[in-house]
Amino acid sequence: MTRFLEALRTVPRVDPAEWAQLPLPTRWAVAARASVLLMTFTSAALGGLLALREPGFDVVLWTLALVGLLAAHATNNLINDYVDSARGVDRDNYYRARYGTHVLESGLLSRRAMLAYIGATGLVALAAGAAVVWLRGGPSLALMLAGAFFVLFYTWPLKGLGLGEPAVLAVWGPLMTGGAYYVACGEWSWTVALLGTVYAIGPTTVVFGKHIDKLPDDAAKGIRTLPVLLGERRARLWVAGMIIAEFLLVGALVLSDAVAWTLLLVLLNVPAARRTIDVLGAAKPAERPADYPAEVWPLWFAHHAFVLNRRFSLLFLAGLLMASGSAGSSHTRISRSRSPGVP
């Protein structure tokens, strides 16, 4: 259980002897990089919280959507490692294999076993999605097909064409949050999609940061992520700008009366954001600082962005929970802007 909980927090390093003793759920959590599923949970939770007071809210359908989204994200992570390993990208001590256990490159799983993990996890995502389409109808099928497209093609070719980062913004924003809201209450809301996009800036900074960390390796292998195309200095400025934009957009939504003032709770994260921006203002250290966690090195910008986003996520959800318990909450305002039909 301890290792499983650790796998929900980080990507632990596991040797073959320990791997042989781990139960299947823990092996799956390590292989699927379950720690990053928190971002997906938050996106889906936002949609559910915003739909909670709407007529027709269905907790079963929202739960199906949540399970489907988590399984789809895990499937994407597994496919990412499988495809990059099969194409030779992750070989020869490539960056991905240095910041956490790569179950294929370290020989913990065979390719056949990895395909079984992908198939089983993908089947859960597909079954949950099919149930949602059957029970909710409407644009559910279009939303599921859009999600399937990104699951299958994020690793190749999108990531290598500088489209991986925009894809993350689209998926964790309007697709996940807007989709979870629609599935939960049967109405599409552009305000919810926008609010989800504001949150999705955080996961995008995490992916951006990881690709900055990997920039020399990616450039050498011809993987043209957005940081490779921009260059390291500009990419770091982009991440800093996105962090600032996240706070400004929350403020703008509150001032426009689109969401409740309780969302300003995220401002408690400003000091942490300032520290992260200071990190982005300097080059990555050549060696791990003595006070830096060894289990995440050599990730640097990605880890700082991940920690910041985790704190932002908790404050964001807390602000929505506070709003849901008060009259005149963001739910009431959002319901005025929603519109039935396809997005």
- Identify the three-state secondary structure at position 312: helix
Which tokens belong to 288?
A: 């791990």
Q: Which stretch of DSSP H or E encloses residue 24?
A: helix 24-31
**Inter-residue contact 42 to 199 (CB < 8 Å):** yes
Q: How far apart are CA 130 and CA 122, in angstroms?
A: 12
Q: How far apart are CA 252 and CA 247, in angstroms?
A: 9
DSSP string, 96-162: GGTSS--TTTTTSS-HHHHHHHHHHHHHHHHHHHHHHHHHH-TTHHHHHHHHHHHHHHIIIIIGGGT
Q: How far apart are CA 245 and CA 305, in angstroms?
A: 14
pLDDT in tens, the chain (343 residues): 678 888 887 777 888 889 889 999 999 999 998 888 988 999 999 999 989 888 889 999 999 999 999 999 999 999 988 988 887 776 665 566 666 678 888 888 999 999 999 999 999 999 999 999 999 988 999 999 998 898 888 878 888 888 889 999 999 999 999 999 999 999 999 989 999 999 999 999 999 999 999 898 888 888 889 999 999 999 999 999 999 999 999 999 999 988 889 999 999 999 999 999 999 999 999 899 999 988 788 889 999 999 999 999 999 989 988 887 664 444 434 544 444 333 3
pLDDT at 160: 82
Q: How far apart are CA 303 and CA 289, in angstroms?
A: 14
Residue with tokens 């489907």: 68
Which tokens belong to 89?
A: 């990208």
Question: What is the signed CA dihedral for 72, 316, 35, 291, rounded to 10 degrees?
Answer: 150
- Between CA 115 and CA 121, with CA 119 as vertex, the angle to 5 degrees is 115
Sign of CA dihedral 60, 37, 252, 211: negative
pLDDT at 340: 39
Q: Give the C-alpha distances (Å, rounded to integers) separating 197 from 64, 165, 217, 301.
A: 22, 13, 30, 21
pLDDT at 312: 94
Cis peptide preceding 55, ω within 30 of 0: no
From the CB of residue 297, how many other CB atoms can be counted at a distance below 10 Å?
Answer: 15
**Inter-residue contact 85 to 105 (CB < 8 Å):** yes
Q: Which stretch of DSSP H or E encloses residue 338?
A: strand 338-339
**Inter-residue contact 195 to 151 (CB < 8 Å):** no
- Could you write out the three-class secondary structure of 154-173? HHHHHHHHCCHHHHHHHHHH
Look up residue 175 and give its DSSP letter: I
Q: How far apart are CA 152 and CA 118, in angstroms?
A: 11
Which tokens belong to 194?
A: 């926008």
pLDDT at 328: 44
pTM of the model: 0.85
**Inter-residue contact 210 to 309 (CB < 8 Å):** no
pLDDT at 336: 40
